[in-house]
């Protein structure tokens, strides 16, 4: 298949390109076409070093990437969603759009023991004031639902891959072992995304439900980051066990 990765110059986009580029044609999309081409060359070099075809990845601007593809992956910041959808909307016809978007921001947490706010110097190990990431819930309920409402008729939206550690995804020497939550309203398009998950060895797709369940999956991303930071762990993902 031809897969466009919008935001493909970023960390998570790099991982998708390297993993899927082993069996699919990848188009890196960016607002800066030259940057996309540079990154595509960089990714092809990495592929060649690992014994894969060094010509399966190319780069262009977001609009052309979406126009040439069968699947459009939105690996972008939530703040850029509206402007990028406006760019690519004229060329969207029957593609499957996959949202990896998580609306989160860094905030400051205050614990309030005994109903009184106590602020302790942040230099202290036992401080109550600490940075953390929070899920910034969109008015529509989730980023996926918001994006779905922006898309033209005939274009299906599937929400997936929110909880994959970007650094590990981009390391081809690592064998990953994660479950990937997939949300969407059309079972046929979800099955296509299930196959994209399985295309990465040892990754397992999990059907979470319709698009509206994306809220629950998206909000796990800041949770995982907070757990990793506060417990001195790195690049943690999710695995469901019986």
Nearest-angstrom CA–CA distance, 181 and 169: 16
> What tokens appear for 170 in the block?
């981009």
Q: Determine the 3-state secondary structure of 73 from DSSP.
A: strand
Tell me the per-residue pLDDT of 84-120, one tens digit each, with 9 for 90 and over. Answer: 999 999 999 999 999 999 998 876 554 444 555 545 4
Q: Determine the 3-state secondary structure of 23 from DSSP.
A: coil
| Contact indicator for 28, 50 with CB cutoff of 8 Å | no
Residue in the structure block whose two tokens are 């008015």 = 139
Predicted local confidence at residue 189, as pLDDT: 97
Predicted local confidence at residue 122, as pLDDT: 45
Predicted local confidence at residue 125, as pLDDT: 45
Residues in contact with 189: Cβ distance below 8 Å, sequence separation at least 6, in sequence order: 96, 156, 158
- Helices 11-20 and 33-49 cross at an angle (nearest 10°) of 50
Degrees to nearest 5, angle at CA 224 with 218 and 230: 145
DSSP 21: T
Tell me the per-residue pLDDT of 187-218, one tens digit each, with 9 for 90 and over. Answer: 999 999 999 999 999 999 999 999 999 999 99
Predicted local confidence at residue 53, as pLDDT: 81
| Contact indicator for 92, 66 with CB cutoff of 8 Å | yes
**Pairing verdict, β 204-209 and 179-184:** parallel
DSSP string, 76-142: S-GGGHHHHHHHHGGG-SSPEEEE----EEEEEE---GGGS-----TTSTT-S-EEEEEE---TTSS
Q: Determine the 3-state secondary structure of 15 from DSSP.
A: helix
Q: Which stretches in the chain have pLDDT values below 70? A: 107-131
Predicted local confidence at residue 127, as pLDDT: 44
Predicted local confidence at residue 87, as pLDDT: 96
Predicted local confidence at residue 54, as pLDDT: 76
Nearest-angstrom CA–CA distance, 178 and 127: 34
Instruction: Please measure the distance between the N-terminal and C-terminal CA atoms of the chain and give it in whole angstroms.
Output: 34
| Contact indicator for 193, 158 with CB cutoff of 8 Å | yes
Nearest-angstrom CA–CA distance, 186 and 179: 20
Adjacent-strand bridge partners of 108: 131
Predicted local confidence at residue 119, as pLDDT: 52
Predicted local confidence at residue 129, as pLDDT: 43
| Contact indicator for 130, 122 with CB cutoff of 8 Å | yes
> What tokens appear for 184 in the block?
């969407």
């Amino acid at each position: 298949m031809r897969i466009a990765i919008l935001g493909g110059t970023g960390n998570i986009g790099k991982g998708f390109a390297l993993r899927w580029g082993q069996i699919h044609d990848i188009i890196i999309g960016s607002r800066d076409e030259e940057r996309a081409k540079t990154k595509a060359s960089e990714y092809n070099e990495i592929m060649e070093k690992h014994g894969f075809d060094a010509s399966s990845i190319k780069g262009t601007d977001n609009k052309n990437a979406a126009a040439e593809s069968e699947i459009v992956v939105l690996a972008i910041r939530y703040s850029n969603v509206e402007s990028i959808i406006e760019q690519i909307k004229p060329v969207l016809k029957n593609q499957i759009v996959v949202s990896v978007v998580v609306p989160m921001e860094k905030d400051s947490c205050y614990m309030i023991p005994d109903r009184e706010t106590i602020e302790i110097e942040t230099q202290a190990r036992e401080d109550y004031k600490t940075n953390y990431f929070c899920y910034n819930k969109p008015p529509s309920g989730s980023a996926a639902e918001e994006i779905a409402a922006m898309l033209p008729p005939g274009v299906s939206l599937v929400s997936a891959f929110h909880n994959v550690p970007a650094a590990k995804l981009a390391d081809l020497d690592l064998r990953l072992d994660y479950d990937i939550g997939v949300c969407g309203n059309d079972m046929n398009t979800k099955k296509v995304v299930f196959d994209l998950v399985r295309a990465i060895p040892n990754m397992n797709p999990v059907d979470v439900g319709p698009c509206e369940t994306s809220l629950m999956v998206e909000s796990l991303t800041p949770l995982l980051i907070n757990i990793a930071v506060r417990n001195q762990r790195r690049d943690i993902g999710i695995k469901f066990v019986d």
